[in-house]
Amino acid sequence: MTKTSTFAPATLLTLAGALALSACGEAEEKSYEADATDESGGDFIISEPDPAAVPVDLPETEMTEVPPEDEMADDAMAEMPAEAPAE
């Protein structure tokens, strides 16, 4: 006599049911909408200075460009100290 396992058919039935449910339940794409309207017409809006505002001192640092990566690598190699000779 051969013994038939009841585990295999039950597992297959469960997997088939899960696949069928997942195929039917396609996720709805979320859409994000801002709850605001642009009333500026694309213009930059500047508000009047507020006399009660906290004063802020902005730094007057000169802006410098960052050199391209190739030049930075060359400069870094030039600044590295020479290795001591092996003894």
**Which segments of the chain have a pLDDT < 50?**
none
Amino acid 87: pLDDT: 56
- 9: CB partners within 8 A, 6+ apart: none
Q: What's the pTM value of the predicted model, to 2 decimals?
A: 0.24
Amino acid 46: pLDDT: 77
Gap between the Cα atoms of 75 and 69, Å rounded: 10
Amino acid 84: pLDDT: 59
Amino acid 82: pLDDT: 61
Amino acid 86: pLDDT: 59
Amino acid 76: pLDDT: 66
Tokens of 52: 């009660």
